[in-house]
Amino acid sequence: MKLRMIGSTSKDGDCPTLYETETGDIVVQGDQLTDPEALAQLQHVKDGETFVVVPRALLTQYAPRD
C-alpha cells in the first residue's frame, strides 16, 4: 500500500498527521487513546482496531472535500 501525506498540524514532523492511500482511504497518525473511561464508551470495536486522538484543526484543515 502506498501512502501520500496530506498534512499535519505538528510543527516538528511528529503526529498527528493525515495520509491518503492509493484507493482514496484516509490513514490517521496520532496519539493512542488510552483513557479507560473513553475506551469504555466505544461501540462495535473489532479485534485489531485501535483508536487515536486527532485535533479538530487537523481534520478541518486537511480533510478531503468532495
pLDDT tens readout for residues 51-66: 999 888 888 888 667 6
The residue written with cell numbers 487513546 in the block is 33
| Mean confidence (pLDDT) of the chain | 89
Cell of residue 22, nine digits: 492509493
Neighbours of 3 (CB within 10 A): 13
Q: What is the model's pTM?
A: 0.76
